[in-house]
Copies of this chain bind each other. A is one copy, B any other.
Amino acid sequence: MRAVTVRPGRQDAVEVRDVPDPAPGAGELLVEGVAAGVCGTDLDIVAGDYGWAPPGRDRLVLGHESLGRVRHAPDGSGFAPGDLVAGVVRHPDPEPCGACAHGQPDMCRNGRYTERGIKERDGFAAELWCVEPSCAVRLDPCLARGGVLIEPGSVVAKAWEQVERVGARAWFEPRRVLVTGAGPIGLLAALFSVRRGLVTHVLDRVTDGPKPALVRDLGAEYHTGDIADVLAAVRPDVVIEATGAGPLVLGVLTGTDAYGIVCLTGVAPAGRDLTVDAGAVGRDLVLGNRAVVGSVNGNVRHFRQAADTLAAADQDWLERVITRRVPLDRAADAYAAARSGADVKVVIDLDPSAS
């Protein structure tokens, strides 16, 4: 079978290679790849800045945003041939730490977790892959195309769970939400927000392209401009920060409404110093009982929440978030397109019948 591979730690090119078909372990599902999404973590791996091959190998199969169709499922697995599935990314560390032992590898304490397509486990950008039933989530058949967004959806589901659980430390009935960044995470965060009945605002830099209409078609308001001005106008109870950009990370630390909760989900390169009045930031957080919570990854429960929310969404809207589909044999083009920044979500089509 063919798979998208890279040598982590090196800057050489992505290669679509013929590799041996994977052999399902006891109890595992054998899955035909339908599509794999491309995100910033993939670009970091392709650039040689991140990623680890499985032990004893120099090549990693890329892809942690998955969509596949079950070819073979063992009896009693709870899955059947033809089921549409997505695979969980992060697996528990071997120790395991307390979080991993409690089914929360997304909260792993010791950093020794493994991740499909990222850290010591082959990913899903392949014509065939295997997965343990406990790490697979069945998707509604309506998600035959948009279902490749389940993984970013799981990140958003976890972020919203963090907001709600941090909010539940006292009385909490949020009304206004600001999402910073209208990439896939930001757009899905806005979708989850709107579906909760919250008044939703999205801030991004661009005035053209598909983002403004994608936001407005959710029933949310699209903003460009300065973060401080937008915060002052919206006074959000909740901020989902989805860019990682320093000025936005700093900007959203102040300016929410009292008891505001900021969830940081974005990661950007370190190394750019900004100035901040830390006394003022601290004062604002303390006197307003405000909270900031970082959130990364998602466990199988968050994948299930994402599967439910995306199945209930407008499938045409989900498809519009995917602005480019590249066939497997031109996979390198997918990473180049994603790097250019002009797209919202780039996806590699793995199923030859779809091309």
Contact = CB atoms under 8 A, between A and B. Distances in A.
A195 interface: no
Contacts of A26: none
Contact of A272 (B169, B257, B264, B277): B277
Contacts of A104: 170-171
Interface in A127-170: 161-162, 165-166, 168-170
A308 to B, nearest CB: 20
A314 to B, nearest CB: 29
Given A271-B277, A286-B295, A111 B168 contact: no
A106 interface: yes
A264 B286 contact: yes
A268 B168 CA distance: 28
Contact of A282 (B246, B273, B277): B246
A159 to B, nearest CB: 10
A14 interface: no
Interface string A302-328: 000000000000000000000000000
A291 B166 contact: yes
Given A273-B276, A278-B246, A278-B249, A109 B286 contact: no
Given A265-B286, A285-B264, A296-B287, A270 B279 contact: yes
B257 A283 contact: no
Contacts of A246: 277-279, 282
A102 B171 CA distance: 7
B267 A277 contact: no
A63 to B, nearest CB: 20
B273 A275 contact: yes
Contact of A273 (B241, B247, B277): B277
Interface in A90-106: 98-99, 102, 104, 106
Contact of A294 (B162, B287, B296): B287
Interface core residue of A106, A246, A292 (most chain B CB under 10 Å): A292
Interface residues of A, number: 62
A274 to B, nearest CB: 5
A258 interface: yes
A197 interface: no
A109 B290 CA distance: 11
B283 A270 contact: yes
A287 B113 CA distance: 13
A334 interface: no
Interface core residue of A166, A282, A292 (most chain B CB under 10 Å): A282
Nearest to A249: B282
A246 B276 CA distance: 9
A23 interface: no
A293 interface: yes
Nearest to A108: B258
A146 B268 CA distance: 50
15 contacts: A99-B171, A99-B259, A102-B171, A166-B293, A249-B282, A264-B286, A268-B279, A270-B277, A272-B278, A274-B277, A276-B276, A285-B292, A286-B296, A288-B294, A289-B296
Given A109-B257, A246-B277, A290-B294, 9 more contacts: A99-B259, A107-B171, A165-B169, A244-B286, A249-B282, A265-B286, A266-B286, A270-B279, A272-B278
